[in-house]
Amino acid sequence: MSDSLTTALNVLDKFRRFFDAHPRTVLSSVALAALLLTLRFVSAKKRKGKYIEDLSQVGSTGADWEKFEYDVIVVGGGTSGCVLAARLTEDPSIRVLMLEAGGSGSALPASRIPIGFSGLFRTKHVYGFRTEPQVHAKGQKRFFPRAKMLGGCSSINAQMAQYGAPGDFDEWAALTNDDSWSWQNFGRYFSKFEKYIPDPNYPGIDMSERGSSGPVRVGYFNRVSDHSKAFLKACAQVGIPLVPDFNGSKGPIGASRIMTYVDSNGRRVSSETAYLTNDVLKRPNLKVVINAQVTRLLFDQSSDGTTRAVGVEFANSPNGPRYKARARKDVIISAGAIHSPHILMLSGVGPAAQLKAHGIPVVLDTPGVGANLVDHPVVDLYLKDKTNNSIYSLRPETLSGAYWRIKELAKFVLFGKGMLTTNLGESAAFVRSDNPVLFPPAQYPQKLEDSTSGAASPDLELFCTPVAFKDHGAILFDMHSYALHCYLVRPTSRGSVLLTSPDPWALPSVDPNYLQSPDDLEKLTRGFRLLLNIAHAKAMDAYLDHDNKDPELDHATTHMKTDDELRELVRERVETVYHPASTCRMAPREKGGVVDSRLRVYGIQGLRVCDASIFPWIVSGHTAGACFAAGEKLADDMKKEYRGSK
């Protein structure tokens, strides 16, 4: 008998015995699974029906394409894109076409169920980049996922609703000489998108600093593990003060349970679910198209030397017909920090030498496109959960795991509660690497460059997850585990996004250049040492098995390593925490800027960029909030501008 047949018979036998012992559990689980599958099918169909898939309804492959005219074409229905589409079409006179390369995010259960997002990483719904070999990180090519679906990365992120530090935005205002980006002014767009739901378990939030009527629900609906509560106590024990709110005007420094983008049923809130509501999708002036990849921008170059973006070309597959549609006023590229510069370069806007090398006619030599890539580098600490009460119970390959999954799924569907509602990144702390309490000068004499956005801004974030994993969840530990993570929120290393081919379906190359700056390595090593101190703080004793000798875990020897050995470990473990930014910087042109402070591409009329690529510097924390807020601000500015020009 073949091995696989023997295994199959063993599994069947195990199942039969489990069924004999627990017939009601098995039958009710099967019934529930069938019900969920049906619901999934129905909801996916219902949702899909609201979006356009037939490209001939919105554009043409022929010479008559200019008949398909809109005021604004939004390229990419991601985090900022959905905000723009929904807010611009509040004005019935503005006709908007939004083209999204992927399908609906909200139709995917793994997107709606908070714990599920990493299950999408290696599917067709995510662009599965690998970075270029990381020269300062042992030449490793790191997995680097970016969402390909409506809602963009807000449909697959960890839902951590922390927005940066007020000083970040004051820096943006100073660089652009435009005070509308200062915290005092831009800050109101965070309140505009936010609907904060107060929770008696988390008092001390100043409600005057939180938004109460925006479309994006923010609050604490997720389950939080006892370990993550202990993490906060451990932070206090090592000298990090507890604070009620990372998003207040005092800045994020301190430790707290993190707010999340979650609705009252415990499901993910993405920019698709928040902004593309049924009422918005019914608007006659909005067309949202899915499975439509923009392959290039169309320009009109007039004899007086001006260049204007007049439309876009798009298709639903590499060999499919190429459609075109016209934008009367603006094309807004909102395809994220990797794809926005890619689309510009494919269309002839980028570093001239690179475009020529790929045979792309140069429309405008813009060296800043794809340059300045910055990403938050993270390192993880792998630990053993000694309470044996973690989400490891959900492991699928055992019958008891299947039982737990179905039980937790039922809890989730019926009550919006249970293990599936964890966003994984449950609690966090923001610190400065020059804090003398955490990093005593006697032990850390080296003075490092201050890369923060001010005295109240951090350069390190620590957070915990109720499971340890490697390679973004591709490798899980076969035990109840726990992890602590540290990332550099203000790295000074810079990388790039480069063309690999003139073919729009070929992915560009991504090089975040982690740890290029020696200070980045130093700061991250300090943060790693701090994680070890937290893991060994008294509050964690009841939860972590420090006697564990498993060489894959960090109990036995990691805390005894020298600084040099820790640096090596940091180089070995460094990964993306998924926050690429600044590849089409909003900055003066002579400083590598691609867009001005109204997000208009320099030198081309009717073309804007709005997403994480415009960040002049990366925010001190999580990036989705500033993408929502930038979308809100640009929509507001454009509506005013259009009203003024009538």
Binding positions for FAD are 79-80, 294
Binders of ligand FAD among 71-130, rule CB under 6 A?
A: 75-81, 99-102
The three-point CA angle 264-266-272 to 5° equals: 80
Query: Could you please report the per-residue DSSP string of 93-108?
Result: T--EEEE-SSB-STT-
What is the closest distance, in whole angstroms, from the C-beta atom of residue 149 to ligand FAD in the complex?
6
Q: Is 622 a catalytic residue?
A: yes
What is the closest distance, in whole angstroms, from the C-beta atom of residue 392 to ligand FAD in the complex?
21
Q: In angstroms, rounded to a whole number, what is the distance separating the alpha carbons of residues 84 and 261?
A: 19
CB 225 within 8 A of CB 238: no
Residues near ligand FAD (CB under 6 A), total: 42
| 422 phi, psi to nearest 5 deg | -75, 135
Between 214 and 625, whose beta carbon lies closer to ligand FAD? 625
What is the closest distance, in whole angstroms, from the C-beta atom of residue 67 to ligand FAD in the complex?
22
Q: In angstroms, rounded to a whole number, what is the distance separating the alpha carbons of residues 569 and 131?
A: 19
Binders of ligand FAD among 414-443, rule CB under 6 A?
A: 425
- Sequence-ordered list of residues with C-beta below 8 angstroms from that of 7, at least 6 positions apart, any chain: none
Q: Residues 535-574 vs ligand FAD: string with x where CB under 6 A?
A: ----------------------------------------
Strand 496-498 versus strand 509-511 pairing type = antiparallel
Instruction: Out of 579, 585, 608, 633, point to the residue binding ligand FAD (CB under 6 A).
Output: 579
In angstroms, what CA-CA distances link 55 with 48, 95, 247, 299? Answer: 15, 17, 42, 21
The three-point CA angle 330-333-334 to 5° equals: 130
In the set 227, 342, 376, 622, the catalytic residue is: 622
Question: What is the torsional sign of CA 534, 540, 541, 547?
Answer: negative
What is the closest distance, in whole angstroms, from the C-beta atom of residue 4 to ligand FAD in the complex?
34
What is the closest distance, in whole angstroms, from the C-beta atom of residue 399 to ligand FAD in the complex?
30
Which one-letter DSSP state was computed for residue 260? B
What is the closest distance, in whole angstroms, from the C-beta atom of residue 371 to ligand FAD in the complex?
17
Instruction: Out of 625, 632, 635, 638, point to the residue binding ligand FAD (CB under 6 A).
Output: 625
Binders of ligand FAD among 28-67, rule CB under 6 A?
A: none
The three-point CA angle 478-482-486 to 5° equals: 125
User: Which residue stretch of 7-15, 248-256, 328-336, 527-535 sits at the interface with ligand FAD (rule: CB under 6 A)?
Assistant: 328-336
Any bridge partners for residue 463, and if so which? 428, 485
Q: In angstroms, rounded to a whole number, what is the distance separating the alpha carbons of residues 584 and 333?
A: 10
Between 322 and 536, whose beta carbon lies closer to ligand FAD? 322
User: Which residue stretch of 176-184, 333-341, 349-357, 362-370 sits at the interface with ligand FAD (rule: CB under 6 A)?
Assistant: 333-341
Instruction: Out of 96, 158, 262, 373, point to the residue binding ligand FAD (CB under 6 A).
Output: 158
Distance of CA 569 to the CA centre of its chain: 25
What is the closest distance, in whole angstroms, from the C-beta atom of residue 25 to ligand FAD in the complex?
34
Instruction: Out of 160, 409, 431, 534, point to the residue binding ligand FAD (CB under 6 A).
Output: 160
Q: In angstroms, rounded to a whole number, what is the distance separating the alpha carbons of residues 75 and 52?
A: 15
Buried b / exposed e along 447-476 (16+ C-beta atoms within 10 A): ebeebbbeebbbbbbbbbbbbbbeebeeee
Binders of ligand FAD among 445-474, rule CB under 6 A?
A: none
Binders of ligand FAD among 133-152, rule CB under 6 A?
A: 145-149, 152
The three-point CA angle 114-118-121 to 5° equals: 135
Between 143 and 403, whose beta carbon lies closer to ligand FAD? 143
Q: In angstroms, rounded to a whole number, what is the distance separating the alpha carbons of residues 574 and 380?
A: 8
Instruction: Out of 87, 326, 339, 526, point to the residue binding ligand FAD (CB under 6 A).
Output: 339
The amino acid sitting at 534 is: I
In the complex, which residue's CB is closest to ligand FAD? 78
**Residue of 592, 596, 613 lying closest to 605 (CA atoms):** 596
Strand 96-99 versus strand 286-289 pairing type = parallel
Q: Is 622 in the site for ligand FAD (CB under 6 A)?
A: yes
Residue 341 CB-half CA count within 13 A: 35
Between 98 and 413, whose beta carbon lies closer to ligand FAD? 98
Q: Is 498 in the site for ligand FAD (CB under 6 A)?
A: no
Q: In angstroms, rounded to a whole number, what is the distance separating the alpha carbons of residues 381 and 379?
A: 7
What is the closest distance, in whole angstroms, from the C-beta atom of residue 52 to ligand FAD in the complex?
13
- Binding-site residue numbers are 79-80, 294
> Residue 100 has which token pair?
């999204």
> Residue 617 has which token pair?
């510097």
Instruction: Out of 73, 107, 240, 343, point to the residue binding ligand FAD (CB under 6 A).
Output: 343
Between 275 and 404, whose beta carbon lies closer to ligand FAD? 275
Q: Is 350 in the site for ligand FAD (CB under 6 A)?
A: no
Rg (CA), the chain: 25
Between 134 and 423, whose beta carbon lies closer to ligand FAD? 423
The amino acid sitting at 295 is: T
Q: Is 287 in the site for ligand FAD (CB under 6 A)?
A: no
CB 459 within 8 A of CB 488: yes
Q: Is 157 in the site for ligand FAD (CB under 6 A)?
A: yes
What is the closest distance, in whole angstroms, from the C-beta atom of residue 395 to ligand FAD in the complex?
21
Instruction: Out of 337, 349, 402, 587, point to the residue binding ligand FAD (CB under 6 A).
Output: 337
Q: Residues 61-80 vs ligand FAD: string with x where CB under 6 A?
A: --------------xxxxxx
Between 254 and 625, whose beta carbon lies closer to ligand FAD? 625
Alpha-carbon torsion, ordered 510, 512, 516, 522, to 10 deg? -150
Instruction: Out of 195, 578, 597, 617, point to the residue binding ligand FAD (CB under 6 A).
Output: 578
Q: Is 159 in the site for ligand FAD (CB under 6 A)?
A: yes
Distance of CA 185 to the CA centre of its chain: 24
Between 251 and 425, whose beta carbon lies closer to ligand FAD? 425
Q: Residues 294-313 vs ligand FAD: string with x where CB under 6 A?
A: x-------------------
**Residue of 512, 533, 522, 513 lying closest to 429 (CA atoms):** 533
Q: Is 224 in the site for ligand FAD (CB under 6 A)?
A: no
User: Which residue stretch of 322-330, 402-410, 447-455, 616-624 sits at the interface with ligand FAD (rule: CB under 6 A)?
Assistant: 616-624
In angstroms, what CA-CA distances link 266 with 115, 262, 421? Answer: 11, 6, 6
CB 274 within 8 A of CB 217: yes
Site residues for ligand FAD per CB under 6 A: 75-81, 99-102, 145-149, 152-154, 156-160, 293-294, 334-337, 339, 343, 425, 578-579, 611-612, 622-625, 627
Annotated active-site positions, please?
579, 622
